[in-house]
Chains A and B, each alone.
Chain A
């Protein structure tokens, strides 16, 4: 089992819709959870992080964490074509200082 799993997609949503991106992780002791956006040929850009159960909102983005289910998600409201990118989930495992990344989910927002 991979430490961080994501559906590779592509996930296609129409402009204005809500995009829901999901991630599961295997280490129950994981401490912090991150979402990065990566445009083709570019480096990952931090969108937001979460470390407590529940929801965390930042503009059009909401991160949701459920430690009991070992599940973290990212919701993008009012999706725009400029949101089309690969979204990487990253997890800081228990007692480490490194982040482990999933393979990413490719999101396509069509007009």
Chain B
């Protein structure tokens, strides 16, 4: 158990609806990452935060995607006007300070867009 929790674990929605995922890391994780993973692929980087600052966003993160970490603790990832291509596992990972950079993943939020 990495201590990183994600909610909801599963979400089924209709195309065009908005969805929001939440991630709660442990207090030592000053950095928080969002990845997306589709079947047969490795996790793809979306964005990351150091405390409340969003430091990097992938080109994969279209205008329909937005992420926040308002108080430097939990984070939310919102997808607006979902498309079938958004169906994936959305993974949150925390990282403590230090140089090596290992990430500890939560259990993921699986999104199915019908």
Q: Does A44 contact B (CB under 8 A)?
A: yes
Binds A, one of B13-21, B41-49, B62-70, B80-88: B41-49
Inter-subunit contact A103/B102 (CB<8 Å): no
A31 to B: closest C-beta gap in Å: 8
- In the complex, which residues of chain A have a beta carbon less than 8 angstroms from the beta carbon of B102? 32, 34, 46, 49
- In the complex, which residues of chain B have a beta carbon less than 8 angstroms from the beta carbon of A98? 33, 45, 48, 56
Query: Which residues from 38 to 63 on chain A have a C-beta closer than 8 Å to any C-beta of chain B?
Result: 42-46, 49, 51
A16 to B: closest C-beta gap in Å: 29
- In the complex, which residues of chain A have a beta carbon less than 8 angstroms from the beta carbon of B40? 8, 103
A43 to B: closest C-beta gap in Å: 4
Inter-subunit contact B45/A97 (CB<8 Å): no
- Cα A34 to Cα B93 in complex, Å, equals 14
Number of contact residues on A: which range applies? 20 to 34
Interface size on B, residues (CB 8 A): 25
Q: Does A100 contact B (CB under 8 A)?
A: yes
> Among the interface residues B41, B44, B106, which one has the most CB atoms of the partner chain A within 10 A?
B41
- In the complex, which residues of chain A have a beta carbon less than 8 angstroms from the beta carbon of B104? 46
Inter-subunit contact B48/A102 (CB<8 Å): no
B45 to A: closest C-beta gap in Å: 5
- Cα A99 to Cα B101 in complex, Å, equals 8
- Cα A44 to Cα B106 in complex, Å, equals 8
A90 to B: closest C-beta gap in Å: 8
B: residues with CB less than 8 A from A are 31, 33, 35, 40-45, 48, 50, 55-56, 89, 91, 99-108
The 5 closest A-B pairs by CB, nearest first: A101-B42, A43-B105, A43-B108, A92-B101, A101-B43
Q: A97-B56, A98-B48, A104-B42 are in contact. List 9 more A-B contacts (CB 8 A).
A: A4-B42, A8-B40, A31-B99, A43-B105, A43-B106, A44-B43, A46-B103, A88-B42, A99-B101
Q: Would you give 6 A-B contacts (Cβ < 8 Å), ordered by A? A: A4-B42, A32-B99, A46-B102, A97-B48, A99-B101, A100-B45
